[in-house]
Structure formats: structure tokens, C-alpha cells
Amino acid sequence: MAGESARALQFAMLTAARSGEVRGARWSEIDLQAKIWRVPAERMKAGVEHEVPLSDEAVELLKKQPVHSDVTDLVFPGMKLKPLSDMSLSAVMRRMDVDAVPHGLRSTFRMWAAERTNHPREAAEHALAHKLPDKVEAAYQRSTLLAKRRQLMVDWAQFLTTATEG
């Protein structure tokens, strides 16, 4: 895959993040040493900061990404160094002749975690930044399960890499 939109789609795949979060990703949110992406609350659907553990594949993609720090903090800038359009990632999938939408990648991640792994349901739900529907459970479950999510994302990246090589 080549181009900003394609690399943004690849990053969305590797992180199971919403396309809007990826299109708005800023270098100032990313800590390559700690392998973490901190998406601020104002860009999250639930309005809560979300820490995304980055696999080695996601870090490598970011390391290859050009930085335009003199004009923009965006990781995946579009035309005129503004955020990519809402349809840019969908357009990449259409050009690849994939009958799906970027948000479907999140569903694929969730089904893979449920059907092909032994990772806890809660870790997969946290990875997708979903709120717990049960208010009682949410009151007691305050951990973000970062260590478990880190391994989940490593396994997901390995699955994606194996799937594309095969």
C-alpha cells in the first residue's frame, strides 16, 4: 500500500482504531519509545482518553511516515497538510476491490479476538474503546488492561502479517 490514505488504513488495521481517530492522529500523541498512542478525550467517541498499545508493526509504519513538524502535527496529513477526508480510507478499500468499509476492520478484530484467541473479552472491548454496558461492572472494572491489550495487539499484528503473507 502506498500513499497517506493507504498508510492510515494500515495503521487503523493495526490499532483497531476508528478511522476518525487515525485521520486526526498527532505526533504529539505518540510515544514511539513506550509504544503507546494516547488519543485525547476530545477525539474519542466516549469522551475519555484512550491509550492504544502499538505493536512493532505499527511502530515501524510510524517510523517510515514522513514528519512535517514545521507545518503540521498530523501523522497522516491530506491535501494542503489538512486531515484526510472522511472517505479517504474507504476509497483505498474500493481501489483494492475490497467489499467492506474501514469500520468493518474493527468488527473483524473483535470477531478474531473472540473466535481465534483466548484473550479476555474485556481486553478486546477496551482495545476498541467500548464502554462497558453494565454500570455495576464498569464501577468495579477500572483498569484499562494495558498489559493484556499490548499482547492482544501484538497477536493481532502477527495475525494480519501472516494473513497478508499467506
**Catalytically annotated residues:** 18, 45, 103, 106, 130, 140
CA pair distance 56, 158, nearest whole angstrom = 10
Which three cell numbers, joined as nine digits, stand for 113?
479476538
For residue 26, give the H/E element and its range.
none
Provide DSSP, 42-73. Answer: GGSTTSS-EEEEPPHHHHHHHHHS---TTT--
Q: How many CB atoms lie within 10 A of CB 114?
A: 11
Reference 103, options 38, 24, 13; nearest CA is 13
| CB contact set of 16 (below 8 Å; sequence gap of 6+) | 105, 106, 109, 110, 127, 128, 153, 156
